[in-house]
Amino acid sequence: MITNALCDLEKCVDTAGVQLDTLALRLTDVERNLDENELESLENESVMELLESVTEVKNEYQNLRKDLQEVQQLQKEMTNSLRYQLRNMTQTFRGLKKKIESNSIPVHLVPPPAGSSSRGAGGEGREAQHQPHAPPLLPQPDLTAHDHGPRRATGMLKSVSKN
């Protein structure tokens, strides 16, 4: 949308520039050919052509100015939209990061698998009765780290089978 407007604007500027150059050449020619005595004998047709050219250039200039104002308005709207989107993304990122951080637990607090405990079955049963049992949460990956290849994020458990 903005690219098309800029292309149209460039075309209008080029057209207005060509018309201004043409008008300047015509004015120079008229100034060369005019003597004070010849002013009265100047043909109405060339004066009318000159006036038409001036009017045309003036209209092109006004259109160009209007197009420039439209492009500036579009730029402002786009800038505001991008700022709003960036602000929303930043807030969403921070919220998700906090949620991930609050849901992840350090590796040393993760309970060992059920079969590898050194305590007897009776001791585990008593502890389960006294403490409210919440499902163990798995460590979450650090989404703030840059991905530089297949590297394991810190704090992740490594699955090792012991036989």
pLDDT in tens, the chain (163 residues): 667 777 777 787 788 778 888 887 887 777 777 665 566 566 666 777 888 888 888 888 899 899 989 999 999 999 999 999 999 999 999 999 999 888 877 666 667 777 655 554 444 444 444 455 555 666 666 666 555 555 554 544 555 555 4
> Tokens 């994020």 appear where?
153
Q: What is the pLDDT of residue 126?
A: 47
- 85 in a structural domain: yes
- 91 in a structural domain: yes
Alpha-helical (H) ranges within 38-141 are: 44-103, 121-130
- 27 in a structural domain: no
- 64 in a structural domain: yes
pTM across the whole model: 0.39
Q: What is the pLDDT of residue 43?
A: 64
- 92 in a structural domain: yes
Q: What is the pLDDT of residue 75?
A: 93
Count how many domains the chain has.
Answer: 1
- 154 in a structural domain: no
- Enclosing domain of residue 65: 59-104
- 84 in a structural domain: yes
